[in-house]
Amino acid sequence: MLYMHDLWVNWFEGEENGYNVCRFHEWRKEDGIELIDQIPLLKVQDDLFHYIENDLQELPIAMLQDIQRKTYMKKNQERHTIEYAAVITNGTDVLVFDTLGYTSPVKKSRLIPRQERLALEMVQGKRAEHYTIEENIRKEHHILSLDPDKMSGLTRRERQLKQLLMMALDQLKHSDHPEEIRYWLTEWDPVQYPSIKSLSTEQAWSRLYEETCHGWTKLHEELCGKMVKGQPFFETIWQGENDKVSQHMKSQN
């Protein structure tokens, strides 16, 4: 078995979509970067790589057995054993996971570019391990777990705010004030106000979702900011993302 040593990781916990496991260029100063002392490296087939990258389902039993207690982390000069963790690659991309002792990839991370290149070099010319996925349930994307195409090309901040907007839209759909849906659609597209008046609640919500779930623009940001106002949980997320931008701007000056 191949092993990698002294790896820097930036764990993203509970992320079922690979687009939320940020690449190195999107890591932030406040992220909790950790050092892995030793970890197995596996070359796997494309389907298994994407299954682990984009889901939180059970990992193959044979794979878990192969990597069990073979990862070590150092904390305060003490070496700790990790139950199930590995670096995986399909020969073109690289991902690290840790199950936290469970049997699904609860924590995921990318690698820094130099270590990513090393992982790819180490498996070059080697055959991919064949692990059988016990039960591959087809993943369904929905408003709170958008299809990767709808997040393509967005920055970390834009993805976070887009997820926040989708959470606000989902809440709006199930609220006790359906008349608000037409109001927010008008905020989004004031020119269409005459036709919006004649839409049913379901039609108005569908149009609002369909028109906002693609891309990210200043209009998206403005709508998101207005919709989360007065909702403490949503406002905390909104404020957090904007504070990070302010801190970044200050550090650049």
State pLDDT tens for residues 5-21.
Answer: 999 999 999 999 999 99
Closest among 84, 34, 76, 38 to 58, alpha carbons compared: 84
pLDDT reported for residue 98 = 98
For residue 252, pLDDT over 80 is answered with no
Confidence of residue 245 (pLDDT cuts 50, 70, 90): low
Closest among 64, 101, 102, 61 to 86, alpha carbons compared: 64
State the DSSP code for 173.
H
Confidence of residue 249 (pLDDT cuts 50, 70, 90): low
pLDDT reported for residue 178 = 83
Q: Which residue has the higher pLDDT, 82 or 136?
A: 82
pLDDT reported for residue 251 = 54
Please state, for a pLDDT cut of 90, what percent of the chain lies above it. Answer: 85
Indicate the domain borders of the chain.
2-123, 148-252
For residue 176, pLDDT over 90 is answered with no
Distance CA 51, CA 7 (A): 23
Distance CA 108, CA 193 (A): 45
Distance CA 7, CA 96 (A): 10
pLDDT reported for residue 242 = 84
pLDDT reported for residue 243 = 78
Confidence of residue 179 (pLDDT cuts 50, 70, 90): confident
Confidence of residue 207 (pLDDT cuts 50, 70, 90): very high
- The average pLDDT across 32-56 equals 96
pTM: 0.90
For residue 54, pLDDT over 80 is answered with yes
Distance CA 160, CA 193 (A): 29
